[in-house]
Amino acid sequence: MSPAARSVSGARNPSSVTTLATTSSTRWAPRPYAEKEPSGGVMHDEETIGTRLRRLRRWRGMTLDQLAGQAGLSKSFLSMAERGVRAVDRRSHIAALAAALRVSEAELAGGPHLTADPVQAGPHALIPALRIALTANTLTAPVAERARPLPDLTAEVGRIDRSEYRHSEVAVRLPVLIDELHVHACAADEHVSREALASLVDAFQAATFTSKDLGYADLAHIAALRAAEVAGVLDDAVDQGKADSLRVHTLPTGSREFRLTMAERAADRLEPHAGDPLGLQVLGMLTLAAALSATLAHRFDVAAHWLDEASALASRVPDEPGRNWGAFSSANVAVWRVGLATERGEGGGVLLDLAREVDEDRIAARPGRHATFLADVGRGLARERATMREAQRWLLRAETLAPHKIRNSSAVRESVATMLTRATVDAGGRELRGLAARMGVAH
């Protein structure tokens, strides 16, 4: 993975190697008029992305032909999406449509969705405290006046990193942890300060992905920037690699080439430190971030190269997702192959073949990662009528494993809403409507 392996363009050469605290502008799509369904009810954000797509397209005064041409998608796909019979669940498609419509991706995809279900809505009520912890603390002026012993705090961060808590518990614990770690980060003892700063990087990682899972992209980005700030103070290559990974994951999908370049450069910087076990795991996660970035840029050959790099690195670490940083391991690389295939638009047999390569017993130690894998398979299967019933089974398994995560997933909600449009009134349809009800999807 030397810098010389790059192509002329700078990319690697594949052949060479809450109360809810968001603003209305981020939560809701513009509504110049109240569009009515045939039944006379006003449509709300619990419906498909296609519903918002139609509203935004008409608001912009664009025809389907114009939008298709500017977004690089087919008119027939957009027509089916607007009618709710095709899911718009690929991040690259959402980014292309948002750019063509000149709106944010959040306006098109929909922001955090609240229902009466406490499993889904509960974590959102705690987002304001997390926002304050991320924005009010500084490395010279902590919000808290006192803190628990540092070993207790670092142990708590480790439990959060290993996904031992659900989002509602993480959202309760993280703000306090971040406050108290800042107290120790300001300690006169340099050893204590550095240990606290290192734990802050991991706490900011938890804040990044909790916020991202719940739909708060702005807060996830703030957490990633705080991690970068701390890593800069530590001046440690591995901590910098962690922060780089978070920044890559929180960049807008539309910044495709920049995102890929950033991931590749971060991997190059960390490569000399891969002799350290933790450095090796962080490097592995950066290669996976590069594979994702390449997939979003539709550079699938580059993505395949980075997945192969990740597999090679994973062979050098214990296959223990529950213990490794970021769950990096051979089992997790297999999970990523499924997720990136789903993002590429694969379905049916291709996804099932890839899913068979995943050792579910090993990834069971990471319930959130396990549930995401199940949901990715389900979303891919949902694209084909012949495998819709199978898709329901995978999605319901995912929900059972991590309901707090799956019920807050906009991608899963989009697939469920689209499947519901096509479902017949049978036992499978009733199960699907039950899942839809729990996710707040009109049914």
pLDDT, tens digit (0-9, with 9 covering 90-100), for 166-184 = 777 887 899 999 999 999 9
Q: Mark whether 130 and 235 lie in a shared domain.
A: yes
Q: What is the identity of the amino acid at 364?
A: A
Nearest to 101 by CA among 45, 52, 56, 50: 56
Question: What pLDDT, on a 0 to 100 scale, did the predictor assign at position 240?
Answer: 98
- Give the domain-ending residue among 58, 76, 111: 111
Structure tokens belonging to residue 254: 């539309």
CA distance 247 to 211: 13
Q: Mark whether 173 and 81 lie in a shared domain.
A: no
Distance of CA 352 to the CA centre of its chain: 22
- Give the domain-ending residue among 111, 141, 159: 111
pTM of the entire predicted model: 0.82
Question: What pLDDT, on a 0 to 100 scale, did the predictor assign at position 141?
Answer: 96
Place of tokens 């008029």: 33
Instruction: Look up the domain containing 49 and give its range.
Output: 18-111
- Give the domain-ending residue among 111, 134, 160: 111
Q: Mark whether 63 and 188 lie in a shared domain.
A: no
Q: Mark whether 79 and 143 lie in a shared domain.
A: no
pLDDT digits (tens, 9 = 90+) for 306-363: 999 999 999 999 999 999 999 999 999 999 999 999 999 998 889 999 999 999 999 9
| Close Cβ partners of 188 (under 8 Å, ≥ 6 residues apart) | none
Number of folded domains that form the chain: 2
Angle of CA points 358, 380, 119, to nearest 5°: 85
Q: Mark whether 145 and 245 lie in a shared domain.
A: yes
Nearest to 13 by CA among 392, 221, 301: 301
114-147 burial: b if 16+ Cβ within 10 Å, else e? beeeebbbbbbbbbebbbebbeebebeebbeeeb
Intervals of the chain under pLDDT 70: 1-47, 111-113, 163-164, 424-429, 442-443
In a domain, 270, yes or no: no
| Close Cβ partners of 23 (under 8 Å, ≥ 6 residues apart) | none
In sign, the C-alpha dihedral spanning 150, 154, 157, 163 is negative
Question: What pLDDT, on a 0 to 100 scale, did the predictor assign at position 250?
Answer: 95
Q: Are 352 and 392 in contact (CB under 8 A)?
A: no
Q: Mark whether 125 and 96 lie in a shared domain.
A: no
Q: Mark whether 82 and 123 lie in a shared domain.
A: no
Q: Mark whether 217 and 95 lie in a shared domain.
A: no
Question: What pLDDT, on a 0 to 100 scale, did the predictor assign at position 112?
Answer: 64
